[in-house]
Structure 1
Amino acid sequence: MRNITKLLLLIFPIVWLFSCGQSDNKKADNQKTPDSRLYYNGHIITMETEEVEYVESIVEQNGKIAFTGSLKEAEKLFTNSEKIDLNGKTLLPGFIDPHSHFGMVSNTMGQVNLNPPPVGTISSIPEIIEAIEKFKNENEIKDGDWIFGWGYDDNQLKEKRHPNKMDLDAAFPNNPVYLQHTSGHMGVANSLALKAMNVSKDTPNPEGGNIDRIPNTNEPNGLVQETAMYPFVGNMLQILSSKQEVYFEKTQNYYAEYGITTAQDGMTDRNTLQFFQKQADDGKLKIDLIALAGYSDLDKNLADSSIHFKKYSNGFKVEGTKVIADGSPQGKTAYFTKPFLTPTPGCAHDCKGLASLSQESLNTIFKTAYYHDNQLFVHCNGDASIDMLLQAHEYACKELQQPLDKDRRTIAIHSQFVRPDQLEMYKKYKIEPSFFTNHAYFWGDVHVENLGKERAFFLSPIATADKMKLKYTNHSDATVTPINPLFTVWTAVNRISRTGKVIGENERATPYQALKAITTNAAYEFFDEDLKGSLKVGKLADFVLLDKNPITLNPAELKEIKVMETIKAGKTIFKKQ
């Protein structure tokens, strides 16, 4: 009996420990960290089909989409998911920025905001001067230092003209000042700035540019357009580059606030390409960033083994090369086959705008790029510049004995005043347009006045392009207009001008067409269609969560939709407080 008692005393602690271990294991199993996230009870729009498609649930696992379909099936397959109730909100693929200038958006953080309402508050030249004076004082800018401003719009100023060097000289005799026009295609410099950039009465107009003059003299009045502004912009970028890293994270956050999970820098110099790659390699990218290298460096970039075109490296890639073929329609430097209907700076008659490059130069760029399978993104607003693009495409294909319809995805950026026959050529040659319907709101009235209704009403024709099955996109061109994809959806669907006029009733897009332009079609234009742009198993879990459903909402209210959360590869990078 004593031996049995001893045995029981030995066994009891072992049994007790074993049972405790089992209890702890069960507790650990019940508290195991979820290995996925299951979203349900909302409007989940896949963007995968020609017509609107909803699914009951979607599961994210390891940064990718693991499931889309019924909630019951999701719960059965993913038993260890964190369940996230959308509470009736709308979940879409993360927005892809088809074309903006990430670097310029960043640089504006070191400049005076001179935008008119609703972006800013400036409506007259005295208000421009007052804003610059305030900026100089607040930032303790010393005499002799440069002052930069951005976003002024002569079309929206009370004076209905550009500020000039006389306006700026009177207020800032001791600082070089350069102000960038909202179009990004021209700017105004004061006398000290003109002197610093070696622009005088003896300076000839550069090819593809204009130095505007004081009437009856050859003296510059301060306005420099297209290629004539390049030295001023280059100088500005060099000076502001010292704060590039400071503004980088802030700029990413700004994009993320608007639901953007992939951003673009629409023309990037070689130094900035290196800067972006370093930020990516250091793990500082919250969103994907796509850069377009500048065409002036095409040969250098193609020979540079450190530049890997079309391939992401830590969230950054150089997709292709940006070419500027003409200017700005609201600035009257876009290149048309028919003249502007109103007076044009630097032009006395038959004013059709400016081609930024000769046909021969454009042909050479196309031939070089096509030979190296380098994707081209060509800025062309006016129909004459689009004719040049098509001619360069045909030339390069003929010279290289390549098919005209090879899958190169050459992108005609803006294509604002494309003609119907040119859209047919896009389709035939597999060239895709990236439209800019924000112009309907910001400058629709100006375009009617400058170009007439026929041209103005066919601005950025998404409805026609969709019928033709083109893979169009639609962009903000920030800093030209605000980086807000939902505002861009609103302009595409409503096409309402500042004064409430409809700029081309027949080209109003449906909300779904407008959403395709910043999701599936945008992914296609960047050769990313297998990676992102729609909610499909295997793609990145890039999501944007909206407070309302743009498909069912009153079209007039689309711009009021709020981004509630932005998710990049399964991780929240913005959440509305």
Structure 2
Amino acid sequence: MGQKLYENGTILTMEKQMYAEAVLVRDNKIAAVGKKEAVEAFASPDAERINLEGRTMMPAFLDAHSHFMACANGELQISLDGAGSFKEIAERIKNYISSRHIEKGTWLVGKGYDHNFLEERSHPDRRLLDEAAPDNPLVIQHQSGHMGVFSTEALRQLGIPMDGTGDLLEIPGGKIAVQSQIPTGYMEENAFLTFQKKIPLPSPKEFMEAVKKAQERYASHGITLVQEGFMVEEMLPLYQGIISAGILKLDIVGYLDIKGTGKFLDAMKQHREGFFRHFKIGGYKIFLDGSPQGRTAWMRTPYTPGEEGAGYRGYPVHTEEEVLTFVRRAMEEHMQLLAHCNGDAACEQYIRAFEKAVSMDSSVLPADIRPVMIHAQLLGIDQIPSVKAMGMIPSFFAAHVYHWGDIHTANFGMERASHISPAASAQKEGVVYTFHQDSPVIEPDMLETVWCAVNRCTKDGKVLGSKERISVEEALKAVTLHTAYQYFEERERGSIAPGKRADFVILSENPLEKEKMQIREIRVLSTIKDGEVIYRRDPDCF
């Protein structure tokens, strides 16, 4: 293939030598980086010269944790993002049904409501959904993804007794809300996830189009590598379909539900050793607790008083023995393990399991599989040395500071809320950390996340934990270099260096020179994957 020489712009390498004047790409790989004259010496006379016109080029952003399939499905769902009341939720559902001429009996899914921002300050129940969609089974998912509400018809089709005479399912690590022994429609954690999996899937044609739109969405934010954060066996035919169809242009790393992975591992052996047709299996995933804004995260000390009663600390998903079994299995199989841990009690359980596993067998160390602590929202400062000792990588949901920081202050008090996503403390301890958006919980906007980590401002304009602010450079490393390390991809991506993939993002301005409070105003102009443009903000972009 031909050569491309990028020049006449600001080039951020994310290496020790941060700035370069030119970059040469040959056969989809970076061939040379540095002073313009030196790079030109490696270029052929017919190399295509790409004039950056003063714009900023840096390595493409890498998604440390999200749910790609859920983002694709979101393209086919009713958006409830930003809804301010039960009435608005019902109106959006009715408008969706009428505007799209939805047939009776068709399953509907709504996404993105947040009870914290509704006038009623509570979750709706099945009666609201029954009124909004009387002819369709319907489920609406909380923005956190950890809870939701089913309509009466949805509950019936899922086999849940509605007459108050049957025994309701007892699901460890979850909750089915009832009133007078009859389900209200609301479920959380394991209960919600269990029944959510049973919802009928969209048609293959609809799904393929949704996958294309989801990829475009990630690429529009400068992202070239995406995570599938929890793969259950029901997703196998969907992934087999999109891989065989050849529609993937982003690289996807999948993490399998450790409790049911046999079919995936048997059917996709070629994806275990590395990327094949843009997909690879990265390891296993487990959930240890819930959501801090939903008050289901598992805490060492109680939440501020609420309807749950005094002393409420949330709850775990698994027993100590179960978590130890999962950890030992991952270490024995040399599979990376990702654990959803929001509360500090869940973080402690994860740390403790690895410490015990090492005491039982030190032939494989945690650092060998680079275990990841997903979210780590309320990771205690006192726990960070143990995280380092176990070779864990906390992947912080830094944008929580802006989106739910005021809610966390109400749930935990200012002192604990000020330490959510303690990136500066982790950095001080020498811990490698990454940032993510947990999409579709929020938009996969890396520049907003960088802005959040640097400024730590809430929606109400308060500074939440100024001591946990980090520099712009360190925030950018958390979504490039450090994320590459998290994926064992540090030799392939994460910086602009000879031999690495030609994956770049071109920005309207330099984040290192932009006023800190204006960083999220920077625009992604184009995204380049393996030397080819996969996204342009407009036809005239680079």
Select between 439-448 and 308-317 the one with higher mean Cα deviation: 308-317
For 1:227-306, what aligned pairs fall within 5 Å after superposition?
227-236=190-199, 238-239=201-202, 243-298=206-261, 301=264, 306=269
- 1:272: how far off? 2.8
- 1:399: how far off? 2.9
The equivalent residue for 1:462 is 423
Task: Give the letter aligned to residue 242 of structure 2.
Answer: Q
- 1:299: how far off? 5.2
Contact 1:335 1:353 in 2 (8 A): yes
The equivalent residue for 1:423 is 384
The equivalent residue for 2:159 is 198
Contact 1:99 1:264 in 2 (8 A): yes
For 1:31-46, what aligned pairs fall within 5 Å after superposition?
35-46=2-13
Residue from 494, 505, 522 that aligns with 1:533? 494
Task: Give the letter aligned to residue 45 of structure 1.
Answer: L
The Cα offsets for residues 263-321 of structure 1, whole Å up to 9 and x where unpaired, read as: 11111123434543553354322111111111221455556663643511122101011
For 1:308-347, what aligned pairs fall within 5 Å after superposition?
308-344=271-307, 347=308
**Structure 2 Cα separation of the partners of residues 440 and 158 of structure 1:** 22
The Cα offsets for residues 457-505 of structure 1, whole Å up to 9 and x where unpaired, read as: 1111111212222220000001111111111111111111111111111
Contact 2:81 2:113 in 1 (8 A): yes
- Per the alignment, in what secondary structure is the counterpart of residue 269 of structure 2? coil
Cα 1:494–1:175 shift into 2, 3 Å = same
**Structure 2 Cα separation of the partners of residues 568 and 184 of structure 1:** 30
**Structure 2 Cα separation of the partners of residues 108 and 176 of structure 1:** 17
1:402 and 2:367 equivalent? no
The equivalent residue for 1:119 is none
Cα 1:100–1:446 shift into 2, 3 Å = same
Cα 1:42–1:404 shift into 2, 3 Å = same
Residue from 126, 143, 148 that aligns with 1:165? 126
- Per the alignment, in what secondary structure is the counterpart of residue 492 of structure 2? coil
Cα 1:516–1:164 shift into 2, 3 Å = same
Contact 1:101 1:267 in 2 (8 A): yes
Task: Give the letter aligned to residue 41 of structure 1.
Answer: N
The equivalent residue for 2:75 is 109
Report the TM-score, using the length of structure 1 for normalisation: 0.89
1:96 and 2:57 equivalent? no
The equivalent residue for 2:89 is 128
**Structure 2 Cα separation of the partners of residues 535 and 341 of structure 1:** 47
- Per the alignment, in what secondary structure is the counterpart of residue 57 of structure 2? strand
The equivalent residue for 1:14 is none
Task: Give the letter aligned to residue 238 of structure 1.
Answer: L
**Structure 2 Cα separation of the partners of residues 62 and 172 of structure 1:** 54
The equivalent residue for 2:30 is 65
**Structure 2 Cα separation of the partners of residues 352 and 300 of structure 1:** 37
- Per the alignment, in what secondary structure is the counterpart of residue 296 of structure 1? coil
1:453 and 2:453 equivalent? no
Cα 1:148–1:301 shift into 2, 3 Å = closer
For structure 1, list consecutive stretches of 5 or more residues without a partner in the other structure: 1-33, 117-121
Give the paired residue count.
533
Report the TM-score, using the length of structure 2 for normalisation: 0.94
For 1:404-553, what aligned pairs fall within 5 Å after superposition?
404=365, 406-553=367-514
**Structure 2 Cα separation of the partners of residues 505 and 482 of structure 1:** 24
Task: Give the letter aligned to residue 262 of structure 1.
Answer: L
Which has the greater radius of gyration? Answer: 1
The Cα offsets for residues 112-165 of structure 1, whole Å up to 9 and x where unpaired, read as: 00011xxxxx21110000000011112222222222100000001111111111
Higher helix share: 1
The Cα offsets for residues 436-470 of structure 1, whole Å up to 9 and x where unpaired, read as: 01111111000000011121111111112122222
- 1:368: how far off? 1.2
Cα 1:305–1:280 shift into 2, 3 Å = closer
- 1:546: how far off? 0.1
**Structure 2 Cα separation of the partners of residues 259 and 65 of structure 1:** 18
**Structure 2 Cα separation of the partners of residues 325 and 569 of structure 1:** 37
**Structure 1 Cα separation of the partners of residues 29 and 344 of structure 2:** 42
Contact 1:276 1:316 in 2 (8 A): no
Contact 1:148 1:236 in 2 (8 A): no
The equivalent residue for 1:48 is 15
**Structure 1 Cα separation of the partners of residues 369 and 442 of structure 2:** 28
Residue from 336, 340, 349 that aligns with 1:379? 340
Contact 2:292 2:342 in 1 (8 A): yes
Contact 1:310 1:320 in 2 (8 A): no
Select between 398-407 and 53-62 the one with higher mean Cα deviation: 398-407
Contact 1:101 1:479 in 2 (8 A): yes
